[in-house]
Amino acid sequence: MAFEMLKTDYKDDILNTSVNQLRRYTIVNNADGTISLIDSTAYSTVGTFIGAKDINTICANMNTIMGYIETEDGDLAQEFQDYFAEQKGIFEDNVEAYMQDFQSNSESQFTVWYDANTAAWSQEVEDRINAIISALNGFVSSNGPFVLNAPYAVGNLVSQDIGDGIEIGYLCINPVSANSGILLNNPDYWMRLTIKGEPGVAVITDLETNSYALQIEDGDLFLYYLEGTDPPPLSINEDGDLILTIE
C-alpha cells in the first residue's frame, strides 16, 4: 500500500503582544440563557487547526505499520522498499521534467540576450573600423607639433615634428582623455604612421649600442652596427623585398 503523507507545516498561534498579552474572548448571551465565547485575540500568526482528519490519517498509518509488525505474514521492510521505490520514480520523473524546462528556459533567455547584444557589438566594431579608415583617408602630412592638451577620440590623428622635414603621425585607436600623460609610442592607445620626409643625402652617422644603419653602396645594401651589438633580424625574400622580422 502507499502511505498517505502527513502534514509537516503545522504552526502555533503567535499573539500580537503589542495589542494583547493574553487571549481575549467576547461573551455572547444566547436566547436560551447560555453564553458563547468568540475569540477576539489579535494574532501575529494564526496557528494551524488539527482535527479528526489529521488524527485519523496518523492513526491509519500507524495501524498499517503495527499490522506488519504484529503478524507473521507482514513484511514491513518490503513495504517501505516499495514505498521508497515509488517515491524515487516520482522524483526522477519530476527532475527530468524540471531539467527540460530549465534547459528550454535558459536557451530562450540566452538567445534573447545574445540577439540584443550582438547588434550593438557589431555596430561598435564597425564604427571603430570606419573611424580608422576615415582618419587614414583624410590624413595630412603636416598637423603641427604634438601636444596632448585635449581629449582624443578613436580615429583622431596628430603628428610630431622630428626635424629635417620629417613628421611622425599617430592614429588614436582608443579614447585618450585630456592631459592623461599617455605617450605616443604606447601601442594600447596610439598606432604609429610613418610619414616620408623630404629626399636627402644618406650618410652614416655615429652609431650607438643596439642601433644600426643601412647604406647602399654601388648598388649593394650594407648593414652597419657596432661590434658586440646583435644584428637586427633582416632578410630578403624571393621577391627581393627587405623583411624585418619582429617577434
Q: What is the mean pLDDT of residues 142-158?
A: 58
Number of domains in the chain: 4
Please name the amino acid found at residue 187. Answer: P
Per-residue pLDDT at 143: 41
Query: Is residue 52 domain-shared with residue 111, that is, in the same domain?
Result: no
Q: What pLDDT shows up at residue 72?
A: 56
137-154 mean pLDDT: 51
For residue 99, name the pLDDT band (cuts at 50, 70, 90): confident
15 and 47 housed in the same domain: yes
Do 60 and 8 have their domain in common?
yes
C-alpha gyration radius of the chain:
44
Same domain, 104 and 130: yes
Does one domain contain both 57 and 84?
no
Q: Rounded to whole angstroms, how far apart are CA atoms 157 and 195?
A: 13
The Cα–Cα gap between 187 and 246 comes to 15
**Would you say residue 215 has pLDDT above 80?**
no
| Residues listed for the chain | 247
pLDDT at 137 over 60: no
In this prediction, residue 66 carries a pLDDT of 74
Q: Are residues 99 and 117 in the same domain?
A: yes
Q: Answer with the one of 52, 74, 96 that is the final residue of a domain.
A: 74
Mean pLDDT of 173-197: 72
pLDDT at 112 over 90: no
Are 222 and 232 in the same domain?
yes
Domain hosting residue 219, numbered range = 201-247
If one counts every other C-beta atom within 10 angstroms of the C-beta of residue 229, the result is: 13
Task: Mark which of 23, 54, 74 sits at the end of a domain.
Answer: 74
Region 201-216: what's the mean pLDDT? 68
State the average pLDDT over residues 44-62. Answer: 89
| Stated pTM of the model | 0.28
H/E/C letters for each residue in the chain? Answer: CCCCCCCCCCCCCEECCCCCCCCCEEEEECCCCCEEEEECCCEEECCCCCCHHHHHHHHHHHHHHHHHHHCCCCCHHHHHHHHHHHHHHHHHHHHHHHHHHHHHHHHHHHHHHHHHHHHHHHHHHHHHHHHHHHHHHCCCCCCCCCCCCCCECCCCEEEEECCCCCEEEEEECCCECCCCCCCCCCCCCEEEEECCCCCCCCCCCCCCCCCEEEEEECCEEEEEECCCCCCCCEEECCCCCEEECCC
Asked whether residue 3 falls in the same domain as residue 62, the answer is yes
What number of CA atoms fall less than 13 Å from residue 77's CA on the CB side?
0
Same domain for 1 and 70, yes or no, is yes
Mean pLDDT for the chain? 75
- pLDDT at residue 202, rounded to an integer: 55
199 or 26, greater pLDDT: 26
pLDDT for 160 beyond 80: no
Do 106 and 161 lie in one domain? The reply is no
Residue 70 and residue 7 in one domain = yes
Residue where a domain terminates, one of 45, 74, 103: 74
Q: What is the pLDDT of residue 147?
A: 45
Task: Please give the share of the chain, as a percent, with pLDDT higher than 70.
Answer: 70
Q: Is residue 80 located within the same domain as residue 57?
A: no
